[in-house]
Amino acid sequence: MSINKLALIRYKTLDDCLRNRRRKWTLDSLLEKVTEVLYEREGIKSVSRRTIQADLQLMRSDKLGYNAPIIVTDKKYYSYSDPEFSISNAPINSADVEKMKEIVGMLKQLNGFSYFEEMSDMIARLENNLYKSTSQSGNCIQFEDNHLLKGRQHIMPLYQAILKKQALLLEYQSFKAIKSQQSIYFPYLLKEYRNRWFLICKSKRSNGLITLALDRIIEFQELPFEPYVAYIGVDFDRYYQDLLGVTKNETDRPRKVILHIDKRNAPYVITKPIHPSQQLMKEDEEGMIFRLDVVLNFELERELLGFGENVKVLAPRDLQMRIMKRLRMAGERYLEKVKEP
């Protein structure tokens, strides 16, 4: 049974009233108090008597695990028979324990990321409390992770800088650069692609968006006195919907990409689409023809090359030629004489 926010407020308010033995609570006075609290917190102006009666009955039952000892004296006054009782002290039922054990297992997997480091103590306490009276078993879920990946320690501070809209003095060295350079950046978005993290930002020196790999960031610091420059005209919730990966310019537009996948690999592409825009256009004896509407970038080429001889680009022509060239160059490398180690 799911419990919404308003119901929780009502249960907590009723619990506070029934624990207060300095006042005698009638159904009308309980209704008045719940209405007052709901109006103060949520702007709800009225609650029916039937709702309060149903809440009291539910609190008495074991449906939520409360089993509240609610009694009625003189046929009108509500209270707890046990003056020490509170729904806040109600034990967790076995079903909840099992669900929480599953959640703790998942949190332990996520705890490998630096942005969950503040949760480490909480996870350990939860696990200790949940497992101290039961036999612990291994995790039933594993997340893809690369503990050797550099730059993960930057995730949490960069996330905070984005939330606070804080300018950064950041030192960065790309793979092509001989030495690192410092510049002022305005961060907008953190994005993950294949276990690698990127910061989408703008340099103070230029107007366009820049994608920085976190594993190439040397160090950075917040600049509290540098005015933050918001990026206008881009909806980041939609900006990356038409591409694979993170490589994109603002002027890039999706292209119609037509692929022929052989019949052996086509079922995999159906069950795991290359891109959300994927559509099945045609099926023949040799395989299936798919359409993607995506930006042409390096990540798309790498994805297609991963299929090797099992895919053929039918359109557009420029993408087809690039894939042909890269496959030809890859084949030529195997024809070269390589010295044995």
Quote the pLDDT of residue 1: 40
46: buried, middle or exposed (CB in 10 Å: 19+, 13-18, 0-12)?
exposed
Give the pLDDT score at 182. Answer: 94
The DSSP code sequence of 107-124 is HHHHTTSGGGGGGHHHHH
**How is residue 147 written in tokens?**
């503990």
Domain boundaries, given as residue ranges, for the chain: 5-89, 94-131, 152-239, 255-335
E strand or H helix at 81: none
Pick the CATH number of 152-239 from 2.30.30, 1.10.3930, 2.60.40, 3.40.50: 2.30.30
State residue 220's pLDDT score: 94
Quote the percentage of the chain above a pLDDT of 70: 80
pLDDT at 64: 76
Q: What is the pLDDT of residues 264-318, one digit of tens each?
A: 999 999 999 999 999 999 998 899 999 999 999 999 999 999 999 999 999 999 9
Is the full-model pTM beyond 0.75?
no
CB 293 within 8 A of CB 281: no
CA distances from 318 to 296, 297, 339 (A): 10, 12, 35
CA distance 278 to 300: 13
Sorted by sequence, the CB contacts under 8 Å of residue 283 that are 6+ apart come out as 266, 289
Which regions in the chain score pLDDT beneath 70? 1-3, 90-148, 337-341
For the stretch 87-96, pLDDT in tens is: 877 655 555 5
Topology (CATH level 3) of domain 5-89: Arc Repressor Mutant, subunit A (1.10.10)
